[in-house]
A and B are shown apart, each in its own frame.
Chain A
Amino acid sequence: MEAPSFWPLFWGGIASVVTLGIFSFLYRDNVVYKFIERLWVGITTGYWTMLLFHTSFQDKVWTPIFLQGKFWYILPTVLGILMWFRLSKRYGYLARYALAFYIGISTGIYIPLAIKASVLYQLHGAVRGIDATVSGLMFTLALIALICSLSYFFFAREHRGVLGVTSKVGIYTLMIGFGAGFGMTVMGRVALLGHRVTFLFDYGNQLVRAMF
Chain B
Amino acid sequence: MMWYDRMLSVDRRWIYLILAVAVIVTLVLPVRIPVSISGEVRAVYDFVDQMRDGEIMHLAIEYDPSTMAELHPMAESVMRKVFEQNGRLIMSSLSQFGPAMADEMIQRIAREYGKRSGIDYVFLGYKPYPAITILAMGTDYRVPFPIDYYGADVDTLPIMSGIRNFDDIRGVVALCGGNAADMWITYGNAKYGMPLALGITGVMAADYYQYLQAGQIFGLIPGIKGAAELEELTGRPGEGARGIPYQTASHAVILVFIVLTNIAFFAKRSAERRAGALH
Using a CB–CB distance below 8 Å, which chain A residues touch chain B? 26-27, 44, 47-48, 51-52, 54-56, 58-60, 63-64, 106, 109-110, 113-114, 116-118, 121-122, 124-126, 129, 177, 180-181, 183-198, 201
Contact = CB atoms under 8 A, between A and B. Distances in A.
A56 B128 contact: yes
Mostly, the A contact residues are: helix
Contacts of A116: 190
* 6 residue pairs, one from A and one from B, having the closest CB atoms: A188-B202, A125-B214, A195-B69, A117-B190, A187-B202, A191-B224
Interface residues of B, number: 60
Interface string B212-227: 0111100000111100
Interface in B234-275: 239, 242-243, 246-247, 250-251, 254
A48 B98 CA distance: 10
Given A27-B13, A187-B251, A64 B146 contact: yes
A21 to B, nearest CB: 16
A55 B13 CA distance: 44
A51 B202 contact: no
B146 A188 contact: no
A86 to B, nearest CB: 17
A54 B16 CA distance: 42
A114 B131 CA distance: 12
Interface of B: 13, 16, 19-20, 23-24, 27-28, 66-70, 96-97, 99-100, 125-128, 131-132, 135, 144-147, 149, 151, 185-187, 189-191, 201-207, 210, 213-216, 222-225, 239, 242-243, 246-247, 250-251, 254
Contact of B132 (A55, A106, A194, A201): A106
Mostly, the B contact residues are: helix
Contact of A114 (B147, B186, B201): B186
Contact of A26 (B16, B132, B186, B250): B16
Given A125-B210, A181-B206, A194-B250, A201 B216 contact: no
B35 to A, nearest CB: 12
A66 to B, nearest CB: 14
B194 to A, nearest CB: 13
Contact of A184 (B28, B69, B203): B203
Contacts of B203: 181, 184-185, 188-189
A196 B224 CA distance: 14
Most chain B CB within 10 A, of A51, A54, A129, A193, is at A51
A190 B246 contact: yes
A33 to B, nearest CB: 15
Given A26-B13, A117-B186, A125-B213, A184 B222 contact: yes
A117 B109 CA distance: 35
A188 B250 CA distance: 11
A55 B99 contact: yes
B36 to A, nearest CB: 15
B90 to A, nearest CB: 16
Contact of B147 (A59, A106, A181, A193): A59
Contacts of B135: 109
